[in-house]
């Protein structure tokens, strides 16, 4: 998927309403995720993050991890699931995580 806006929407659209808006003149965008209860997350995504597929994937994973923690899920399990589902170049070491 080459379009970063489509990639962001596809990552969250099944569970949340996704709104992307231009936030700054430098090309940064604001991602707002909401559900029936209201806004659940807002994140600023820089132009550099948006235009680099690896960095964008990390931003998406970071948002997913934050949402999972907010929902009371085990962060170690969420990280394990994220790293299993990603291509090798997007994996990050689990250094510092206790089992």
Higher pLDDT, 85 or 9: 9
What is the spatial distance between Cα 99 and Cα 90, in angstroms, rounded to a whole number?
A: 22
pLDDT tens digits, one per residue of 13-68 = 989 999 999 988 888 999 999 999 999 999 999 999 999 999 999 999 999 888 88
pLDDT tens digits, one per residue of 69-96 = 888 877 777 777 766 665 544 444 433 4
For the chain, domain boundaries: 4-86
Identify the pLDDT of residue 65: 87
CA distances from 76 to 3, 28, 56, 81 (A): 30, 30, 21, 9
* Full-model pTM: 0.73
């Amino acid at each position: 998927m080459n379009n970063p806006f489509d990639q962001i929407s596809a990552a969250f659209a099944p569970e949340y309403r996704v709104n992307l808006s231009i936030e700054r003149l430098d090309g940064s965008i604001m991602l707002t995720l909401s559900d029936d209860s209201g806004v659940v997350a807002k994140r600023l995504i820089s132009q550099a993050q948006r235009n680099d597929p690896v960095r964008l994937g990390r931003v998406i994973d970071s948002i997913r991890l934050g949402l999972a923690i907010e929902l009371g899920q085990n962060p170690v399990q969420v990280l394990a699931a994220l790293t299993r589902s990603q291509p090798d170049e997007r994996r990050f070491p689990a250094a510092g995580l206790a089992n």
